[in-house]
């Protein structure tokens, strides 16, 4: 998305709606019991592979054959798509307890994007046929997996609204809060994973120079602790940037 496409004043209503939806979804998320997918996989005796990836290592590449559903046991994963022009767009940043690569369950033959470890990560790989059988037999697992996918869909819709109606400053603040897992069931880490300013720019649809400008602005306002290099620490006061109209 071009940096010039800043929000119009007429979009304030939609932006407020997105803020309200985000706060509502955060509140709802706190009431949902923790989903321990690994425990389900272990108890069901499902064959799986555990793989460790270094920071920056590729988990799968766009165009690879879809053979597994993956679950993040530890670490973090970046999902991205590469255009024919060579431009890369970051579509999601995932953390522990999240699935990815589930497109194979819907008959997707090839990976639509790439997955890269953003920190040292441990990934569980479950064969797609085994996962289908598990979802048919284990209703509790099926219910939780559906809830996970619905939550992912809500997140994608919120990301789209964010891109359409919010300024690059607000988009960056929201991205940092999400990376620190603000509002999740577990305690926010405060420390944002060590990702580059270029990746942050790709996530929010702006330039690296704009990301650098706003990071320094947030630092001066006391919203983050930042010495010029990532990783950085966020303070809860950063939320005021997202909620401010």
What are phi and psi for residue 148, nearest 5 degrees?
-60, -45
- Among the listed residues 218, 205, 198, the one whose alpha carbon sits nearest the alpha carbon of residue 166: 205
Q: What is the layout of strands, in order, in the sheet containing 88-94?
A: 58-60, 114-117, 77-82, 88-94
Size of the chain in residues = 245
Each residue of 187-227: pLDDT tens digit? 555 777 778 888 888 888 889 999 999 999 999 999 998 88
| Contact indicator for 100, 72 with CB cutoff of 8 Å | yes
Q: Which two structure tokens, joined as six digits, stand for 141? A: 């697992």
Q: Which helix (H) or strand (E) holds 137?
A: helix 128-137
Each residue of 33-49: pLDDT tens digit? 455 666 767 766 777 78
Domains and CATH numbers, the chain: 37-150 (2.60.120.10), 167-243 (1.10.10.10)
pLDDT in tens, the chain (245 residues): 333 344 444 444 444 444 544 443 444 334 344 556 667 677 667 777 899 999 999 999 999 999 999 999 899 899 999 888 888 888 888 888 889 999 999 889 999 999 999 889 999 999 999 888 888 888 877 888 888 888 888 888 888 888 878 899 999 998 888 888 754 545 555 777 778 888 888 888 889 999 999 999 999 999 998 887 667 888 888 888 887 65
How far is residue 138's CA from residue 116's CA, in Å, rounded to a whole number? 30
Give this prediction's pTM. Answer: 0.68
For residue 90, list its beta bridge partners.
80
For residue 123, list its beta bridge partners.
51, 72
């Amino acid at each position: 998305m071009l940096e010039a496409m800043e929000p119009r004043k007429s979009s304030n209503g939609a932006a407020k709606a997105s803020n309200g939806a985000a706060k509502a979804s955060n509140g709802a998320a706190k009431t949902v019991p923790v989903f321990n997918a690994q425990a389900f996989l272990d108890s069901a005796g499902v064959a799986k592979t555990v793989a460790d990836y270094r920071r920056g290592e590729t988990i799968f590449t766009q165009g690879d054959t879809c053979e597994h559903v993956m679950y993040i046991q530890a670490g973090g994963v970046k999902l991205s798509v590469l255009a024919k022009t060579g431009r890369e767009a970051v579509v999601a940043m995932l953390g522990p307890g999240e699935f990815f690569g589930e497109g194979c369950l819907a008959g997707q033959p090839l990976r639509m994007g790439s997955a890269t470890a953003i920190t040292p990560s441990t990934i569980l790989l479950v064969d797609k046929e085994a996962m289908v059988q598990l979802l048919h037999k284990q209703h509790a697992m099926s219910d939780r997996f559906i809830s996970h996918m619905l939550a992912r869909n809500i997140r994608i819709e919120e990301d789209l609204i964010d891109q359409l109606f919010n300024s690059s400053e607000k988009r960056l603040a929201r991205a940092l809060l999400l990376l620190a897992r603000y509002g999740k069931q577990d305690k926010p880490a405060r420390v944002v994973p060590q990702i580059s300013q270029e990746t942050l720019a790709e996530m929010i649809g702006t330039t690296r120079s704009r990301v650098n400008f706003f990071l320094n602005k947030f630092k001066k306002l006391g919203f983050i602790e930042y010495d010029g290099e990532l990783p950085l620490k966020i303070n809860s006061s950063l939320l005021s940037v997202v909620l401010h109209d």
